[in-house]
Amino acid sequence: MCRVASEGIPARLTALLSARGADLGVSWADSVTASLGGRITRAEVERELDEIYTALVAALGRGSLDARGEAFGEVRALLTELSRNRARQGFSPVETAVGVFALKEVLEPSLSGADGDVEAYLRFAGLLDALGLFTMEVYSRTREDLISAQAEQLLELSTPVVKLWDGVIGVPLVGTLDSARTMVVMEKMLQALVDSESEQAIIDITGVPAVDTEVAQHLLKTVVAARMMGAECTISGIRPQIAQTIVALGIDFGDIVTKATLADALQHALRRSGVVLTRTAPVAGS
């Protein structure tokens, strides 16, 4: 008997949802619009929900209650689109999931109190929970995609090569130095050496929080590449804690010149290119 009842659940739900179709649609849209605080217009919410509602009724009409099943493919596609849009527009996870969960509350008043209805409602609630979780899954995946896209953009932005003096270029590194970034840095620096006809390059790592073996290896490769082009590299910005860590790790920088500050490195590079700096008496007033 129980089996008969549960088989009839999708049909009962279809009846409940269709009987008050327009009505339910309106209260659902009301509830969702309110929770989004006016950042999406009522018309847009209605359009989104109307499509989901129609697909949901159609799926139930096929006698299924399995949120991951084939019958709900259309519903999942629509929810995927909805949560992707919400994630991109900067809505919170709660504001995204509420779109699905609100339908539960909305359906509540239309229950007649008959035995079958309670079970039907509970099963429906379970179905909506599963769909809600699906929404969250898509939401977080979209956010992760966004973050990795931004990381790539940062990669492009964060590697300036600056001219410090005639024949001396500087590469200030800030943040984490991984393989991908090293490639970009190396390419940019080598190209800048050619373009500016420089023979001295200074790589400043003041902004690199930790130098581990990978970072060190990348630095060494960059220096060797510059040497092959006839340029000399100095690494500056070695802070005391970095120096101690490098020594403890056992990394050997060989004959590569390293300096504590960018100023020291510039002075060294100038001396090597034969520039003599002299200090004169300061000019008083102006």
Partner 1 sequence: MVNATLRGPEVLGIRAVAGVVRARQLVRAFAQECRLSLVEQTKFVTAASELARNTLVHGGGGSMTAAMVEERGRRGVQLVFADQGPGIADVDLALTDGWSSGGGMGLGLPGSRRLVDDFSLDTAAGHGTTVSITKWAR
Residues in contact with partner 1 by CB under 8 A are 148, 151, 176, 178, 209-214, 216-217, 240-242, 244-245, 248-251
User: Is the Cβ of residue 82 or residue 238 nearer to partner 1 in the bound state?
Assistant: 238
| Smallest distance, partner 1 to C-beta of residue 179, A | 8
Q: Please, which residue, 17 or 242, has the CB nearer to partner 1?
A: 242
Closer residue to partner 1, CB minimum distance, 29 or 211: 211
Q: How far is the CB of 207 from partner 1 (least distance, A)?
A: 14
CA separation for the pair 74, 59 (Å, rounded): 8
Least distance in angstroms from the C-beta of 145 to partner 1: 12
Is residue 190 a contact partner of residue 156, using CB atoms and an 8 Å limit?
Answer: no
User: In whole angstroms, how close is the CB of 188 to partner 1 at the nearest point?
Assistant: 21
Tell me the two tokens of residue 41: 């217009």
The tokens for 109 are 């008043």
Nearer to partner 1, 69 or 209 (CB): 209
The least CB distance from residue 228 to partner 1, in Å, is 19
Q: Is 45 within 8 Å of 112 (Cβ atoms)?
A: no
The full length of the chain comes to 286
Q: Are strands 200-207 and 232-236 parallel, antiparallel or unpaired?
A: parallel
Cβ closest to partner 1, residue 43 vs residue 249 = 249
Q: Which is nearer to partner 1, 169 or 219 (CB)?
A: 219
CB of 210 to partner 1, least distance (A): 5
Cβ distance to partner 1 smaller for residue 198 or 236: 236
Nearer to partner 1, 67 or 177 (CB): 177
DSSP the chain: -HHHHHHTHHHHHHHHHHHTHHHHHHHHHHHHHHHTTTSS-HHHHHHHHHHHHHHHHHHHHTT---TTSGGGHHHHHHHHHHHHHHHHTT--HHHHHHHHHHHHHHHGGG----HHHHHHHHHHHHHHHHHHHHHHHHHHHHHHHHHHHHHHHHHHHT---EEEETTEEEEEEES---HHHHHHHHHHHHHHHHHTT-SEEEEEEEE-S---HHHHHHHHHHHHHHHHTT-EEEEE---HHHHHHHHHHT---TT-EEESSHHHHHHHHHHHTT------PPPP--
Tokens of 58: 């159609």
Minimum Å gap between C-beta 245 and partner 1 is 5
Minimum distance from residue 223 beta carbon to partner 1 (Å): 14
